[in-house]
A and B are shown apart, each in its own frame.
Chain A
Amino acid sequence: MTMFEAVLLTIVTAATPLLIAAIGQLVVERSGVLNLGMEGMMIMGAASGFAVAILTGNSWIGVIAAITAGMGMALVFAVLTLGLAANQVASGLALSIFGLGLSGVIGAPFIGARRDAMPKLDLPVLSDLPLIGKLVFGQDPFVYAAFGLVIGTWWFLNRTRPGLVLRACGENHLSAHALGYPVLRIRLFAILFGGACAGLAGAYLSLVYTPFWSPGMTAGRGWIALAIVVFASWRPWRAVAGAYIFGGITILQLHAQGAGVRIPSQLLAALPYLVTIVALVIIMSRRSGQQTAPGSLGKPFVPDR
């Protein structure tokens, strides 16, 4: 395998958790809810996924546990913001702080434990094709699941009636309510979907990407996923571009550090965060940037019966 091929392969693995999380958050935001608890849901997925995988000896049960944990966290957020109309920004922050803490408690007994990373796909002939073989036909199941999510989400949002209703709730919840759509119930499902995606992304981190648990291992990926949604102008396909650009930067700075580039490693490590800021500014400074955000994003909705 050439160096170039290796770099491309690692970019895919770095981008996949970002993409899964970003797609989940995209659906949530399209329904008009801003859930800043992404980081907390993701790390809860990572911790509980790894813990359950070690206890049961089965990574797939771990993945299911991670999704459940993400959805459980999302449910807490939904009760606060939908049921009690609490401030979404503050509730999301609480979810992140809580998740970072609880994941540490859950993961504490498993520090130092290791599992083999979940296997990659290996098709007899296709996977051995030069260059594209490993890249296209030799990935782990999550990579394909991520693209499945992108396609499914695009189709759901743009080609189905429930998707249209979900977008209507996000654009103007008062109008959607007036038309008789159950705004809060739709948002509940969107939030739960977002939690499931965050949990899945977390499971990828602790079961495939770095097959062990370390506290705080999401390292801001949940927040970067939020930025990717803005970068993508709330469109699924553009989220792919966003996730792979950020994944690419993460990997390239790691390789640059490894190759001994004469730049302080801390500056290289800061690159993904700096690029996130620059990307946000570029997207939002274009006049169209603001107009694409869902109209009711972040505003609480209380039905007047």
Chain B
Amino acid sequence: MIRIALEKREDTSPWMSLLSPLVAVALTLVSGAVMFAAMGIDPLKGLGVYFLSPVSDGWALQELAVKATPLVLISVGLSLCYLSNNWNIGAEGQFVTGAICGSWVALASHGAVSGTPYAHLVFPVMMLAAMVGGAAFALIPAVLKTRFSASEILTSLMLVYVAELLLDWLVRGPWRDPKGFNFPQTVMFGPEAQAFRLMADGRVNIGSVIAIIVVVMAGVLMARSLKGFEIRLVGEAPRAARFAGFDDKRLTWAVFAISGALAGLAGIIEVSGTMGQLQPSISPGYGFTAIIVAFLGRLNPVGCLIAGIFLAITFIGGENAQIALRLPLDVTRVFQGMLLFYVLACDAVLNWRISLVSAKGASA
């Protein structure tokens, strides 16, 4: 019987840590080709639709920016959580709650402020409300973790279902557009409540700019501030952090609040920037995909930006493949899951020197 033996690496070369996500992507593409061949599709054509068509022209690139924005925003926040060993996997719920809270501002001010000087305030206030809503929703698992030691993994995930049902109730019940022919959706937001478009006839909105600003701010926070050091220390050496006098409970609240706020922000940007109204389903799973983005980006803000763009390609590629190759949309998820497998496997190569040994007599 052959087994895998691991030996701790003394030093990890920076080149390898840059290379490992690229290797993971390459392995995913190869596995994808095999999968397409197994499904009776020309592998090159399949990969072309999935990974090249989303970057083929200007219109597609705009769509890419729109899809990457929520992924980048959410994954930057999740990276802070994961670095400090807080497993927030309920970003999808925080995304939805943020969208609900922001939309509440849009609906409450609907038709009341257009034309007045206050109209310019509507969108900033919506973003603020979304961030507060997302943060508050994320603080529930954080407080349950610090106060009762309830697993934040399970509580944050359960709250995703709760948030989705709350949204469902709102758009079918109290917030339904009375003139909407009974469709489960709210009224279209007024122009003052829609995210500012960067180009008059384009799709890209101010959200993409905000995402880049957030990446820069998070990069500075992690590299240059005491808080950034604290986050990394609590994750890597919790005992040392406690001796250094860092309060890990307050840090848990902080990273959950930040990641919830960013997920909420992503939610309102998505709703006001691309849909213009609330619908029963507002996310193709951005909150879950962002987990993969965070790991592919090596829990680094700039890495999240690049990884976010890459995973946005899979979303658009999946939509294109549904039309061009009649593939079910779930193929996108298969790609995303495989990618995370490979990222984790490549990380193991970074941390351990791997060799195959035959385990005769010796047992692991």
A: which residues have CB within 8 A of B? 36, 40, 76, 80, 83-87, 89-91, 93-105, 108, 180, 182-185, 215, 220, 223, 226-227, 230, 264, 266-267, 269-270, 273-274, 276-277, 280-281, 284-285, 289-290, 302-303, 305
Contact = CB atoms under 8 A, between A and B. Distances in A.
Contact of A302 (B6, B168, B331): B6
Given A227-B154, A280-B154, A281-B144, A94 B341 contact: yes
B340 A100 contact: no
Given A83-B4, A84-B6, A290 B149 contact: yes
Given A101-B334, A223-B158, A90 B4 contact: no
B151 A267 contact: no
B336 to A, nearest CB: 6
25 contacts: A76-B341, A84-B352, A84-B354, A89-B153, A90-B344, A93-B291, A93-B340, A97-B337, A98-B337, A98-B340, A100-B333, A102-B334, A105-B327, A105-B328, A105-B330, A105-B334, A183-B364, A223-B158, A266-B166, A266-B172, A276-B154, A277-B159, A280-B154, A285-B147, A302-B8
Given A264-B169, A267-B165, A276 B340 contact: no
Given A40-B337, A270-B161, 15 more contacts: A84-B348, A84-B349, A85-B6, A86-B348, A100-B337, A101-B333, A101-B334, A102-B334, A102-B337, A184-B364, A223-B158, A226-B154, A266-B168, A274-B158, A280-B154
Contact of B363 (A87, A89, A182, A302): A182
A267 B166 CA distance: 8
A277 B333 contact: no
A184 B5 CA distance: 11
B9 to A, nearest CB: 12
B154 A80 contact: no
Given A97-B333, A230-B154, A303 B364 contact: yes
Contact of A305 (B5, B165, B331): B5
Given A185-B363, A264-B169, A305-B362, A98 B338 contact: yes
Contacts of B327: 105
B333 A98 contact: yes
B259 interface: no
A97 B340 contact: yes
Interface residues of B, number: 57
A80 B150 contact: no
Interface string B160-187: 0110011011001100000000000000
A273 B158 contact: yes
A96 to B, nearest CB: 8
B357 to A, nearest CB: 9
Contact of A101 (B4, B154, B169, B332): B332
A interface SS class? helix
Contacts of A86: 344-345, 347-348
Interface of B: 3-6, 8, 39, 87, 89, 144, 147-151, 153-155, 157-159, 161-162, 165-166, 168-169, 172-173, 288, 291-292, 295, 327-338, 340-341, 344-345, 347-349, 351-352, 354, 362-364
Given A80-B345, A104-B330, A305-B5, A99 B158 contact: no
B330 A281 contact: no
B344 A91 contact: yes
Contacts of B288: 93, 97
B194 to A, nearest CB: 27
B337 A94 contact: yes
Contacts of B4: 83-84
Contacts of B162: 270, 273-274
A220 B330 CA distance: 17
A96 B89 CA distance: 12
